[in-house]
Amino acid sequence: MLKLHHAPNSRSGRIVWLLEELSLPYDLNTMEFHPKFLKSDEHRGRHPLGRVPVLEDGEVTIYESGAIIEYIVSRYGKGRLKPAVESPNYPAYLQWFHYCEGMVMPPINTIVVQTILLPPERRDEGVLAQAKKLLSKSVAPINESLIGKNFLAGEFSGADIMLGHALYMANRLGCVSDELENLKRYIERIAARDAFDKAINT
């Protein structure tokens, strides 16, 4: 059985969401998002930097949320959640899948550091404002791409799990303006999925 090492309110929620979408059986090891647990010798044996998610599949151990999604979809998806290479939707799938970590998550990471992880005396309002501005700019092209679409690459796919999760977080951080109507509706569609609700509350 697949085993996922997970911390709430982290990228590992993407993997819980994926496993629920595919109705795959899995064992969940939930840890607090705290160095006491993530930086323990036990967990560093799974991930050298003490981070989540980490997926164990028999003798295979794999980390990085995007890699785990590709692994699960390719090995257990049975053709679901990923367009065929020959599909006209495949380029969009690749683009938005990787846009997540390339463009959207870096400013989100900075915002989380500046508002949650750093003690108040070490926070920098200028850095925070710059990150919020960059995040708002980064999500705008996604709004345009969603004109006339329900999902990023035709049908619901792994790209929606990667980027949809990040956009939900960006919206919670107040960086998706009401003017981005397509994006707001997309986030509502994502949040209404039963598997997403399970993941975000796990």
Domain ranges of the chain: 2-76, 90-193
Show the tokens assigned to 100: 């997540």
User: Both tokens of residue 142?
Assistant: 């996604």
Report pLDDT for 202: 84
Architecture of domain 90-193: Up-down Bundle (1.20)
Strands (E), 64-178: none
Spans of the chain, pLDDT less than 50? none
pLDDT of residue 178: 94
Do 90-193 and 2-76 have the same topology in CATH? no
CA–CA gap between residue 46 and residue 55 (Å, rounded)? 9
As a CATH number, domain 2-76 is 3.40.30.10
Report d(CA 136, CA 171) in Å as an integer.
Answer: 10
| Closest by Cα among 127, 193, 168, 140 to 11 | 168
- Tell me the pLDDT tens digit for each residue of 102-158: 999 999 999 999 998 899 999 999 999 999 999 999 999 999 999 999 999 999 999
| Chain CA centroid to CA 85, Å | 23
What are the tokens at 31?
């840890």
Smallest Cα–Cα separation from 68: which of 90, 101, 110? 101
Q: Which residues lie closer than 8 Å to 78 by C-beta, 6 or more apart?
A: none
Model pTM score: 0.94
**Token couple for 1:** 């059985």
Look at residue 58 in the predicted model and tell me its pLDDT. 97
Contact 163, 108 (CB under 8 A): no
